[in-house]
Amino acid sequence: MPESEEVHGHDGALRFLAIQMEAFETMWLQPHEFIDAGDMVVMPVQACGRARHTGIGVEFERVHVSSYRGGRVVRLEIYVSKREAFEAVGLRE
């Protein structure tokens, strides 16, 4: 699944996660902080895991931006940098 592809609904989210997990034997996310951005939360995370086919350990940083309505996540966008995520939500670093 291309990085820029959008998925929708529970089924889309589950499909996205299943595709991501195909590449990894193990994978976990470690949040660094939770930043209030009104009805959104900016969450820089470190993704860690072990590649399924090579056994090589991998680590990379991403920034999740979750939008909420009625106490539920209604949108999740993933950015490569904190600067990019902050720009998307109208914050400054």
Q: How far apart are CA 12 and CA 18, in angstroms?
A: 10
| Residue of 69 and 35 predicted with greater confidence | 35
- pLDDT exceeds cutoff 80 at 5: no
- The residues pairing with 90 across neighbouring beta strands, listed in sequence order, are none
CA torsion angle for 74, 80, 84, 89 (degrees, to 10)? 10
- pLDDT exceeds cutoff 60 at 21: yes
pLDDT tens per residue across span 36-93: 998 899 999 999 999 999 999 999 999 999 999 888 888 999 999 999 999 999 998 7
- Give the domain ranges of the chain: 24-89
Q: Which helix H or strand E contains 4, and what residues bound it? A: none
- The residues pairing with 83 across neighbouring beta strands, listed in sequence order, are none
What pLDDT band is residue 2 in, cutting at 50, 70 and 90?
very low
- pLDDT exceeds cutoff 50 at 1: no
Q: According to the CATH classification, is domain 24-89 in 1.20.1070.10?
A: no
Beta carbons within 10 angstroms of residue 24's beta carbon: 16
